[in-house]
Amino acid sequence: MLFEGLELVSALATLAACLVSVTLLLAVSQQLWQLRWAATRDKSCKLPIPKGSMGFPLIGETGHWLLQVFSKIFSHEALESYLPKIQLVIQDTLRAWSSQPEAINVYQEAQRLTFRMAVRVLLGFSIPEEDLGHLFEVYQQFVDNVFSLPVDLPFSGYRRGIQARQILQKGLEKAIREKLQCTQGKDYSDALDILIESSKEHGKEMTMQELKDGTLELIFAAYATTASASTSLIMQLLKHPAVLEKLREELRAQGLLHGGGCPCEGTLRLDTLSGLHYLDCVIKEVMRLFTPISGGYRTVLQTFELDGFQIPKGWSVMYSIRDTHDTAPVFKDVNVFDPDRFSQARSEDKDGRFHYLPFGGGVRTCLGKHLAKLFLKVLAVELASTSRFELATRTFPGITLVPVLHPVDGLSVKFFGLDSNQNEILPETEAMLSATV
């Protein structure tokens, strides 16, 4: 046992030495790269060279360029083109939930919904339903093992995650190749189209591996946090029926509920949703009280003072979104679900820069925040318009924060479809409608 312990210590020491060596090598190479570019300045010109980083050797600022391409993916024009597809996916999903004779687990089904949205809308893949279901199960296995210890042993979470990623990438490569071969009949440019075209504009043809990696990142970005927020939205509408009714009143006032009917496909536009001020307040309050992730990490670029203490340059710090929302003095009764706190009359979030930051802040704010808010708004409109839903358990479940905020054991809810007059559709009528479709 003693020798085995010494061998383990020796292996860990070797690994640590390798990591330190690699880190030093990267740091030195970046400094040499900076000096290389600094030496190219025109000495006959007295003006200094621009400030900023030249990135890393060979790859330069490729990461920053890719960041700008993801910006295009979530631009106003892109979101406008996604909107009808998002509405259709949500409508189909709510119809399926309402047709179930038993209650559904909202958190699990919200995960399926956001995965479907990412695959169908963001990526534009035409994957058969059976294959899509299998891909979702593999993806869940991948996500469940993302935060495993990096120990590659049989039956370890890390090994299961690697295997799931390999299966995922194989399925994604098949979908990408089919998509590239079939370019006819498209009525909008999805995120993958924008990614490919943007790379061509910059004189760079993306490899299949880059396309697979980019595709997986887009799914990951649209999946867990949006499913968490969707579940929290439904739970709060269940807990606060007066909020749901006030939301319906706003929809009627804006002409989106004619005689109690639901908004037709194509009637929702970005400017229409922007005009629904109470809806915006509801989404903001959900994201304030139930932020999907607890915080984020940043590197200190310049030494600063915080409460009389020095935070040195180069330190890694974590900012807490939830603690910020809980302790921000601008919010009154912080534990109360009160969408009106964001109304124009009160505007509690306007009294300061960093009291409300569900998507982070600064230059590193979440790129997909506008897509997430759009998805939540459409979901809320469809829930208010086409569904009646009730809690299927005696009490509401508790909340866990790991890996993202979600109800313990999910959220059991029974959904009922509504006709154009907001009357409940009986099960036999639902079956007839499904058969007709």
* Ordered DSSP codes for 247-309: HHHHHHHTTSSGGGPPPPTT---HHHHHT-HHHHHHHHHHHHHS-SS-EEEEE-SS-EEETTE
Which pLDDT belongs to residue 436?
A: 34
Average pLDDT, integer, range 149-154: 89
- 19-35, pLDDT tens digit by residue? 767 677 766 777 776 77
pLDDT for the residue 186: 72
pLDDT digits (tens, 9 = 90+) for 77-91: 999 999 999 999 999
Find the helix or strand (DSSP H, E) in which 343 lies. Answer: none
Average pLDDT over every residue of 284-300: 93
pLDDT per position as a tens digit, 329-370: 999 999 999 999 999 999 998 877 889 999 988 777 888 899
Pick 312 or 37 by higher pLDDT. 312
Binned at pLDDT 50, 70 and 90, residue 434 comes out as: very low
366 is in an annotated binding site: yes
Percent of the chain with pLDDT over 70: 79
Cβ–Cβ < 8 Å for 167, 173: no
* pLDDT (0 to 100) of residue 297: 86
Helix axes 106-117, 76-99, angle to 10 degrees: 140
* pLDDT at residue 62, as a whole number: 42
The DSSP H or E segment spanning 391 is strand 387-391
Of 62-71, 238-247, 396-405, the range with the lowest mean pLDDT is 62-71
For residues 127 and 175, the answer to whether their CB atoms sit within 8 Å is: yes
Provide the angle, in degrees to the nearest 10, between the axes of the packed helices 129-144 and 157-181: 140
363 token code pair:
């230059």
3 state SS of 224: helix
pLDDT, position 399: 96
- Tokens 């495993």 belong to which residue? 148
Whether 111 and 142 have beta carbons less than 8 Å apart is answered as: no
**Region of residue 103 (phi > 0: left; psi between -120 and 50: alpha; otherwise: beta):** beta
Per-residue pLDDT tens over the stretch 408-423: 999 999 999 765 555 5
**Domains, the chain, ordered by start:** 61-126+182-284+355-436 (1.10.630.10)
pLDDT digits (tens, 9 = 90+) for 99-135: 999 999 999 999 999 999 999 999 999 899 999 999 9
The distance between the two most distant Cα atoms of the chain, rounded to a whole number of Å, is 85
pLDDT band at 53 (very low <50, low <70, confident <90, very high): low
Neighbour-count burial of 355, counting CB atoms closer than 10 A to its CB (0-12 exposed, 13-18 middle, 19+ buried) = middle
Distance separating alpha carbons of residues 52 and 205, to the nearest angstrom: 27
Residue 66 — pLDDT band, cuts 50, 70, 90? very low
Q: Which residues pair with 296 in a beta bridge?
A: 319
* Residue scoring higher pLDDT (13 or 95): 95
Average pLDDT over residues 291-320: 89
Distance CA 98, CA 386 (A): 10
Q: How far apart are CA 82 and CA 88, in angstroms?
A: 10
- At 270, phi and psi to the nearest 5? -60, -45
Is a pLDDT exceeding 70 seen at residue 431? no
The pTM for the full model equals 0.79
If you write DSSP's letter for every residue of 59-106 in order, what string do you get? TBTHHHHHHHHHHHHTSHHHHHHHHHHHHHHHHHHHHHHHH-SS-EEH
Average pLDDT, the chain: 84
Sign of the Cα pseudo-torsion (306, 310, 312, 313, in order): positive
Which is higher by pLDDT, 148 or 9? 148
State the average pLDDT over residues 405-409. Answer: 95
What's the pLDDT at 187?
Answer: 75
